[in-house]
Each structure stands twice: as structure tokens, then as C-alpha cells.
Amino acid sequence: MPDRPPRSKVVVFGSLNMDLVARVPRMPEAGETLAGHSFITNPGGKGANQAVACARQGARVDMAGRVGNDAFGAELRAALQADGIDIQGVIATATSTGVAMIMVDDAAQNCIAIVPGANASVSVEDAEALRGKLADARVLVLQFEVPMEPLVRAAAISRELGCTVMLNPAPAKELPDALWPLVDILVLNEIEARLLSELPSVNAENATDAAALLLKRGPKHVIVTLGSQGVVWATAGAARHFEAVKVTAVDTTAAGDTFIGALSAMLVEGATMEAALRHAIKAAAICVTRAGAQASIPSRAEVEGVAT
């Protein structure tokens, strides 16, 4: 691995959930009871997934967020530690750990309902506590499964300390005006891009248009992930499309998180955006060929073994 540049750490501030995953032949209709194929529990949460993806690509990672003082919380913390992630910023609270109830159908598409639990208690004080970690970090990664106010504060501290802010606005919701100018890299899928750009739909044909609209709001880079249709990367005055790696999908859970974590890790290592995107695309392609969230996230060696 190349020598690490100064400020070689990624800080991930966000959610930790226990995923409760049912495999089903198809999505049930309203009021329907449907027999499923199988059920597993799997460590997840967008924040934790992104932290694991960073770590498995070789980055030094600090995770910050909240879990419950319960069995799920202990399991989530242990899973992060097993990947070498610093969990000093993961606080155990009196409430329950967040859970995500996931159905995955035979077409590898998923449907997810989240009960935030301890994630909802993430506070501005938690963001302030990140100051020491951000002082020697190169990238702060944020998502929308925790309250907005601490995210905005964390982004402001990161900007103050010269640390790049990467935002994944998922689950899809509007950004407060205060957050837009603090974002350096905006990474979002078609659904999130449609909401934020206010276009009727976003797909491979018009993702560049959506990205151009979003750049006007303040980010330096906008990256629209399009699943099997690849990725669009846009900066001021330029846009580029990257093809996806062709695979047979089994489960798309955590594919976006894997992409974001791998992208962050490569940027921290000093890769160009182009090289980082190609690596992240390969990581996400491996992820969708496996079931589960963190269980599906590949190692650095696996990603480097994928032909382009």
C-alpha cells in the first residue's frame, strides 16, 4: 500500500443498526402474508456500513454514533472493532439499538423500514466531540439516518478544520440551506437526485443534468450512482460517465454504502477522483453478488482482483 498522506483518517458520523433480513420471493402487497425463504440478523446501518467499507479498503477509520445498551448494541460495536475501527465515539445509551427491517426479493431488490432507536438521540454535543478526531482526518462521511442538526454542526467543524465533507443524503430528504455550502462531495442515487434536483425523474440519460443543478447549490463534486447503469461524476464545467461492472446481483443491500466507503478510503490514500471512482464501482459490484449488509462488503484484495 502507498505511504499514507498527512491527515490519512476517515471519520464516519452516523447510524448503526441491526439489520433483520427476510428473503422473500417477491414483495408482499398491502395486507398480504407471504411465506419467506430465510431470515438472518446482520450488523448494518448506513454509517456503520460505510465505516466497514472504508476499513476493508485499508483506511484508518473512526466511527461515531449511538447504540442501545443492549445485545444488539454490543454486537454492533464488536463487529466494528473486528474490522479495526476506532469505536470510542460510539456511545451506548439507555434506549434500544436502531433496527432495519429488510425484505429482499428474488430479483435482488430490497424494501427497508428503519426504527432509529438510539440513532435518534445523536446530538450536537456528539458532533462537538468530533473536533479532536477531525483535526487529523482527511474525510468526514455523513448520512441522514441521524438527526440533521448534529450533522450540520459536524460539517461546519469539519470545514473549519480543513477536512473534506462527503455527504450521502440517504434516506432521501431535503438538505437545510446551512448544509449545502459545507458539502465538498455529494454522493446520491437516482431517487435522492430526483428529490434534490426537483427533476421529474433521474436516470442514465439525464443524470448529468441533475448533477449540474446540484452543483449550483454548493458541492464541489456531485456523484450520481445509477446501479447497473454506472456512475456519473460532475464538477464545475465537466461531467463524466463511468460504466458499471457487469455482475449477477443477489442483494443490493449496502451497495451504495460500499461504494461510498471505498471511495472515501481511496481518496484518503491520495488517489485521483477517477481512480477512486473506478475502485468504488468494483467494490459495489462485488457487494451485490452477496447477501447481507456488512457481510457482503469486500476486502481490498478482492476489489483489486476484479478485471475492468
Phi, psi of 164 (to 5 degrees): -65, 135
- Do residues 137 and 72 make contact, with C-beta atoms less than 8 angstroms apart? no
**End-to-end CA distance of the chain, in Å?**
20
Strands of 9-13's sheet in order across: 86-93, 60-68, 9-13, 137-143, 164-168, 185-189, 221-225, 231-235, 238-242
Q: Is residue 257 flagged as an active site residue?
A: yes
Residue 60, CA atoms < 13 Å, CB-side half-sphere = 14
Sign for the pseudo-dihedral over CA of 15, 17, 23, 28: negative
Phi, psi of 226 (to 5 degrees): -125, 25
Cα separations in angstroms, 121 against 11, 49, 93, 248: 19, 19, 8, 39
Q: Which of 19, 83, 126, 257 is catalytic?
A: 257
Residues marked active site are found at 257
